[in-house]
Structures are given as C-alpha cells and as structure tokens.
C-alpha cells in the first residue's frame, strides 16, 4: 500500500522498548485495515479489549480505531472502539464484547474507514502499544 507505511518504532513507546508506527502520506482517502491479528477465543465469553494509541496530525473527519469481528460468524461479534483524530498523547481505546455460541476466533484490526467528505486524503502518524485482549471474570 503506497499511502501508508508501518514499522516498529524504538524511539516512541507507551511502555517497553517500541511501538508500532503507521504513517499516512496524504495521497489517498485510505480504506485502512492492513494491521490485524487473528486471536482464538472461548465461546459465549465476555472480553475486554484495550490498546494505547498516540496520534500526530491525523487529518480528515474519519480517524483511527480498532474493529473486532468474529472470523467465521461476523453477525455474532462486530464491535469497534472510538476513533482518534488530530494530535493526541497516549490514550486508551477500549471496548467490551461477548462472543457468540459459535465464536472460536476474532480478528482485531487497526481500522480507518474512508471519508465521504471532499477533503478526505488522510495524513499523519499513529503509534500503537500495549494491546490486550482478556476475558472478563464473572462475579457471581
């Protein structure tokens, strides 16, 4: 993909020694979903997802967030975090979800949906660190 590049960045990290940096060059109205991971999950279980994200000069009305889908049954799990735009220090993007009775794996994607605005070419930089998916313990 020519409008975005991504690499590990050892100069910027929320914790540890590096983060993932994604840079958008401002040449396209990017439909971005190129950074993702498949994760096995337990059926009929509540989960909490969180990731620390820092942004610098993210343009347009559509920002960067995360999307979580059931790999084989997207109608059972389909959630998204808030989106970050502009310049933000480290902020946590998070959401809870409940897996379905047939959900065995989810796909977590760093996502930017294309903008419908006239000024829609995305530029700026995003850093991602401390991504976590954990089951929520029942308290009954």
**pLDDT in tens for each of the 140 residues of the chain?**
578 999 999 999 999 899 999 999 988 888 899 999 999 999 999 999 999 999 999 998 899 999 999 998 877 789 999 999 999 999 999 999 999 999 999 999 999 988 888 888 899 999 999 999 999 987 65
CATH code: domain of residue 22 = 2.60.120.260
> What is the 8-class DSSP label of residue 63?
-
Alpha-carbon distance values, 8 to 22, 23, 75, 90, 125 (Å): 9, 11, 33, 16, 13
Residue 140 lies in a domain: no
Alpha-carbon distance values, 107 to 81, 85, 114 (Å): 14, 23, 20
Decide: pTM greater than 0.75: yes
Residue 103 lies in a domain: yes
Please give the tally of structural domains in the chain: 1
Domain containing 103: what range?
4-135
Closest alpha carbon to 14 in 136, 105, 132: 132
Residue 63 lies in a domain: yes
């Amino acid at each position: 993909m020519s409008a975005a590049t991504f690499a590990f960045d050892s100069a910027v990290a929320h914790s540890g020694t590096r983060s993932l940096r994604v840079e958008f060059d401002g040449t396209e109205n990017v439909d971005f979903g190129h950074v993702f991971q498949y994760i096995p999950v337990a059926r009929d279980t509540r989960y909490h997802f969180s990731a620390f994200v820092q942004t610098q000069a993210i343009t347009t009305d559509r920002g960067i967030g995360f999307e979580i889908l059931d790999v084989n049954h997207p109608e059972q799990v389909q959630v998204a975090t808030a989106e970050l735009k502009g310049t933000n220090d480290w902020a946590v993007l998070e959401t809870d979800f409940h897996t379905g009775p047939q959900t065995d794996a989810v796909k977590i994607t760093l996502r930017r949906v294309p903008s419908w605005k006239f000024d829609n070419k995305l530029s700026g930089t995003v850093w991602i660190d401390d991504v976590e998916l954990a089951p929520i313990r029942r308290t009954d």
